[in-house]
Amino acid sequence: MGLSPNVSVVRNLSILSATRFRAPASDAKGSAAAPALAAALVFDVCQVGVVLRAVLFVEAVLAVAAMFVATGPADWLSQVATLTGGALPAVLLWLVAVCALHKRLARWRPPVQYASAALLGVLAGLYGCGLLRLTGALGSAPWLASALAGLLFALLATGWLVLRARGRMPAATTARLEDLQSRIRPHFLFNTLNSAIALVREEPAKAETMLEDLAELFRQALADPRDSVTLADEIGLAERYLAIEQVRFGERLRIRWDLDVAAGSARLPPLLLQPLVENAVKHGVEPSPKGGKLRIRTERRGARVLIEVTNTLPPLRWAEKPLPRGHGIALANVRDRLRLLHDVEAQFRAGLDQDNYRVRIEIPAPTKE
């Protein structure tokens, strides 16, 4: 699909072609990858937030356990330091091993996956005990107790990851329903169909393109939910939405794209970018008689990917009544879904920036396989 002549497009060195964003091609990749993603969610320890929580949990357990044998504060600190010297490397070894093997584990049945995680926990516990024995921190090595401690940690961590993965499903379903309601609001559908009807006789090709874009929006909204899609897919969907709005608003809607092709493979929850673009049009362009400007920017900065959606604000002097304010549901939805997918590695900020309203998202860049 092509953008309207009224849209100014600024691309980085490599241009993101429109065909790259076509949904059918992305679906072919997404459908093939979906089962693997679903299976790997049980052992998705390859996140900073998971590592931090595991380390803090173990340190808290060690601190409490040391209180039972410590004779005073100084002895307690000594006990905690000694236990940490064995437990912390063991925990990190388990996390690294499970993260490195998550693709292989995903090919196996769940009982085999759980057993593998438990076995890795036993080996990690023995490794921690061996470190303390080699350094002389322990006079005699409690091999059996260490193995059982590693097993218990692995079972607790795996159980938490399973519950965490299951907890994402109803949240994702609820978010998807909210997105669907936002995407096919009656007045948007009514305006789109009216615009298409008005173009049928005078510009049938444009009317056909408009209806194709609308059909694609519906298809994406009603498609089977996936854990994540690429940023390139989300940009393509936003292009279709803005192509429809361009017909409605004409020269009142001025769009600028600053897209970095290196950021296109970053992972996002599906149907995340379009509500942000829709909010920008609804609150920045529609209330103003002169229209407004909308800018979508993506950029890869090392191990991070930056996404920005910026819109101008309508001048207050044109408003005969107070401008409508949203309830922040869409923004809260976006923030929650980013947290579910990327945990603490995702950053989300939204607010006024001089005469503009800016939404800024930072997510981890995909690692090379």
pLDDT recorded at residue 298: 95
Using the predicted structure, report yes or no on whether residue 271 has a pLDDT greater than 50. Answer: yes
Eight-state DSSP code of residue 281 = I
Mean pLDDT of 137-152: 86
pLDDT recorded at residue 69: 82
pLDDT band at 190 (very low <50, low <70, confident <90, very high): low
Amino acid (1-letter code) at residue 265: S
Tokens of 132: 């303390």
Using the predicted structure, report yes or no on whether residue 308 has a pLDDT greater than 90. Answer: yes
Three-state DSSP at 61 gives helix
Using the predicted structure, report yes or no on whether residue 226 has a pLDDT greater than 70. Answer: no
Three-state DSSP at 2 gives coil
pLDDT recorded at residue 53: 85
pLDDT recorded at residue 328: 66
pLDDT in tens, 151-161: 998 888 888 87
DSSP 134-149: HHTS-SS--HHHHHHH
Classify residue 305 as exposed, middle or buried by CB count within 10 Å of its CB (0-12, 13-18, 19+).
buried
Give the residue carrying structure tokens 């401690």.
Answer: 149
pLDDT band at 265 (very low <50, low <70, confident <90, very high): very high
Mean pLDDT of 102-116: 81
pLDDT recorded at residue 42: 53
Beta-bridge mates of residue 229: 268
Using the predicted structure, report yes or no on whether residue 266 has a pLDDT greater than 90. Answer: yes
Q: What is d(CA 113, CA 36) in angstroms, rounded to the nearest whole number?
A: 13
High-pLDDT (> 90) share of the chain, %: 16
Side-chain-side CA neighbours of residue 301 (13 Å): 10
pLDDT in tens, 4-35: 444 444 433 332 223 333 333 344 334 333 33
pLDDT band at 142 (very low <50, low <70, confident <90, very high): confident
pLDDT band at 111 (very low <50, low <70, confident <90, very high): confident
pLDDT band at 175 (very low <50, low <70, confident <90, very high): low
pLDDT recorded at residue 117: 87
Mean pLDDT of 163-182: 58
Rounded to 5 degrees, what angle do the CA atoms 51, 120, 142 make? 100
Mean pLDDT of 112-128: 88
pLDDT recorded at residue 358: 93
User: Residue 359's closest CA among 268, 252, 264, 275?
Assistant: 275
pLDDT recorded at residue 23: 36
Pick the more confident residue, 191 or 193: 193
C-beta neighbour count of 315 within 10 angstroms: 13
Classify residue 356 as exposed, middle or buried by CB count within 10 Å of its CB (0-12, 13-18, 19+).
middle
pLDDT band at 86 (very low <50, low <70, confident <90, very high): confident
DSSP 288-325: -TT-EEEEEEEEEETTEEEEEEEEEPPPGGG-SSPPP-
Using the predicted structure, report yes or no on whether residue 353 has a pLDDT greater than 90. Answer: no
pLDDT recorded at residue 306: 95
Backbone angles phi, psi at 267, to 5 degrees: -100, 135
Cα torsion angle, 204, 206, 212, 218, sign? negative
User: Residue 348's closest CA among 367, 278, 340, 339?
Assistant: 339
Do 277 and 239 contact (CB within 8 A), yes or no? no
- Which of 25-39, 94-108, 268-282, 310-324 has the weakest average pLDDT? 25-39
pLDDT recorded at residue 342: 83
Round the average pLDDT of the chain to a whole number and report it. 76
pLDDT recorded at residue 160: 83
Pick the more confident residue, 106 or 84: 84
pLDDT band at 259 (very low <50, low <70, confident <90, very high): very high
pTM to 2 decimals? 0.58
Cα torsion angle, 137, 139, 143, 148, sign? negative
pLDDT recorded at residue 31: 39
Give 204's contacts (C-beta < 8 A, 6+ positions apart).
none
pLDDT in tens, 272-302: 888 888 889 888 888 888 889 999 999 999 9
